[in-house]
């Protein structure tokens, strides 16, 4: 899975400009970064990969169902001739 980017410097700067002390801003930034990393978010690349895999499975299933239909018709035709 691709990494989700998080600009800790910008995050800390925003908190510092809002009146947080350096120590508080750094602690919040670290906690937020850790939380984002643990969430296991899917990126657009991950979603595109899943879509591609699903599309391939769809075509494989269509081919399999087509083969089953052909075999069913052959089996029914053979049973009718008996």
Q: Predicted confidence band at 47 (pLDDT cuts at 50, 70, 90)? A: very high
Are 51 and 25 contained in the same domain? Answer: no
CB-CB contact of 15 with 29 (8 Å): yes
Q: What percent of the chain has pLDDT over 90?
A: 67
Burial class (CB in 10 A: 0-12, 13-18, 19+), 25: buried
Q: What is the mean pLDDT of residues 30-47?
A: 86
Q: Is the pLDDT of residue 46 over 80?
A: yes
Are 1 and 37 contained in the same domain? Answer: yes
* Furthest CA-CA distance within the chain: 90
Are 48 and 78 contained in the same domain? Answer: yes
CB-CB contact of 11 with 29 (8 Å): yes
Are 49 and 77 contained in the same domain? Answer: yes
Q: Predicted confidence band at 8 (pLDDT cuts at 50, 70, 90)? A: confident
Put simply, whether the predicted model's pTM sits higher than 0.85 gets the answer no
Q: What pLDDT sits at residue 4? A: 65
The whole domain housing 52 covers: 43-82
């Amino acid at each position: 899975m691709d990494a989700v980017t998080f600009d800790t410097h910008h995050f800390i700067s925003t908190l510092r400009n809002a009146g947080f002390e350096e120590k508080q801003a750094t602690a919040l930034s670290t906690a937020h970064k850790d939380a984002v990393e643990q969430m296991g978010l899917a990126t657009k690349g991950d979603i595109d990969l899943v879509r591609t895999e699903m599309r391939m499975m769809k075509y494989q299933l269509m081919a399999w169902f087509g083969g089953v239909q052909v075999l069913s018709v052959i089996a029914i035709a053979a049973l009718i001739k008996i």
